[in-house]
Structure 1
């Protein structure tokens, strides 16, 4: 098995932590970023120079550029860049505060964009690498109570798909990962809620709020199995553009795409009626 060097954002918990542990155990090098370095002190102590770690606030573009540049300078080359860090924000669109909206866009969307942009000059020079973007089934489907989370994930999927086409000629493969619910701290640890408005108390938004506040429902996804698939995707050639993980993700995405296709096909005559005549 080829030993690779990985750059992964958000390695303190969730998929980032699980991937990092699996990669280090098998002998790969990991450059990981965290908001709180103490959260991975145990990994640094155990693996030493095999684990490179840096503080990174994804809302700080200058820091993103500096950290990515330093990682390449100190490690020589990086084979796989994983945009993993992010969080969920839930509540009706008008319940969310301006600050909450600005922060999730800066973290989930702009942060991932800037990590990719900072890495691309280095990856092009290497003439071969992978970029893996962690998204969600919520990048292909939308539900009430998650409007801003969906906004960041639909946007990052569009960005990533376009980049995949831009850099294919440089030997850079790009993959979007779309997990379903997994038993990490994402839903009941890092997720945030907007201030509740009474107007939404009897709407589907309240059910989403209740699920987050109660913290009892167990998602079906196994983080260790999902992380293993993400890691294995770096070996696939050509790189798969999208990978759905979990029965819930597969089912939700399939239903969403089927519904969208059916609605589009029903509009074919209307769409063509707005063109100039063929002989015009």
Structure 2
């Protein structure tokens, strides 16, 4: 039986690849994007299996209309994919307030809006899956991506909480963490005027690697899209799905370093516990 998907950010990248692959195998797709005409070619070849709506996830009313409209038109939506994203490539002082606000409003608040709009429908039908596209940058960090990391670490914390809240309703949520992949997203990331003070810092080193073509993009976008579909087909709903050599290696190293630092402060952490507080030292271990 065909699966029905709702996907944001389908004009390019993972969203476009998912849409093409799903339609090719006979699924139905509610594809949303800021410029619906970008899907005219697909719409001509797939008829009513492709439902298209204009959506800028920074517009709360547009989100509500698009989600409600998709459920009304298609009846049931099995999978919601939060894929729309925006990036700013700049050191922390270089990025402007409006640029930072756009990143947070798209990647964090936009994703939250879509999930909140979809949940009443998913609860009513008694099943569903949410795939939240994050990145390796939702668990580790790289210079020049501070606002991007703020949005991705934020949405991962939100989704980790929501996954526990919605599990009793038969709804699964998986945070998908692709690594660096040549989807065009990095090329589309907004930049800001360079400050010479950062030229000989890690921010400057990463900037030169990216602009000089030395920054590695080791992952295959089509394989990532296929892995996301395979996950849904399998019926499994892990909280996180790391995808990419860099995601696996960098996130693992980051988690190990954080745990080591956390453990190094154990005595200080326990030293502030109130005398007589419930839960002894042995219990905490």
Q: Secondary structure at the match of 2:51?
A: strand
**Could you tell me which residue of structure 2 aligns to residue 182 of structure 1?**
181
2:225 pairs with 1:227? yes
Deviates most, 215-224 or 257-266:
215-224
Rounded to whole Å, the distance in 1 between the matches of 2:66 and 2:88 is: 26
Q: Work out whether residues 15 and 223 of structure 1, in 8 Å CA contact, stay in contact via their aligned partners in 2.
A: yes
Give yes or no for the alignment of 1:244 onto 2:242. Answer: yes
- Determine the structure 1 residue equivalent to 2:158: 159
Q: TM-score, normalised by structure 1?
A: 0.96
Match of 2:44, SS state, is helix
- After superposition, the Cα gap between the structure-2 partners of 1:279 and 1:213, relative to the gap in structure 1 and judged at 3 Å, is closer
Q: CA separation in 2, counterparts of 1:259 and 1:79?
A: 38
**Aligned in 2, Cα 1:274/1:43: closer, same or farther, shift over 3 Å?**
same
1:235: how far off?
A: 2.7
Q: 1:278 aligns with which of 262, 265, 276?
A: 276
Inter-partner Cα distance in structure 2 for 1:247 and 1:102: 30
2:258 & 2:245 partners in 1: Cα distance? 20
Establish whether residue 73 from structure 1 lines up as the match of residue 76 from structure 2: no
Question: Could you say what the CA RMSD is over the residues aligned between the two structures, in angstroms?
Answer: 1.4
Find the counterpart in structure 2 of residue 21 from structure 1: 20
Q: TM-score of the superposition, structure 2-length normalised? A: 0.94
- Shift of residue 218 of structure 1? 4.9
CA–CA distance in 2 between the matches of 1:251 and 1:15?
A: 22
Partner residue of 2:62?
A: 63
Q: How does 1:107-146 map to 2 (within 5 A)?
A: 107-146=106-145
Aligned residue in 2 for 1:30:
29
Q: For residues 23 and 49 of structure 1, what CA distance do their matches in structure 2 show?
A: 14
Alignment of 1:252-267 (within 5 A): 252-267=250-265
Structure 1 residue aligned with 2:198: 200
Once residues 224 and 8 of structure 2 are traced to their aligned partners in structure 1, the CA distance between those partners, rounded to angstroms, is 17
Distance 1:19 1:30 in 2: 9
In structure 1, the residue corresponding to 2:218 is in which secondary structure? Answer: coil
How far apart are 1:233 and its partner, in Å?
1.3
Gap runs ≥5 in structure 1:
none
Contact 1:183 1:218 in 2 (8 A): no
Q: Deviations over 1:177-213 (max 9, x none)?
A: 001111210112x211122111111111123323443
Q: Give the SS at the match of 1:32.
A: strand
Q: Shift of residue 86 of structure 1?
A: 0.1
Once the two structures are overlaid, the 10-residue window that deviates more, 88-97 or 117-126, is 88-97
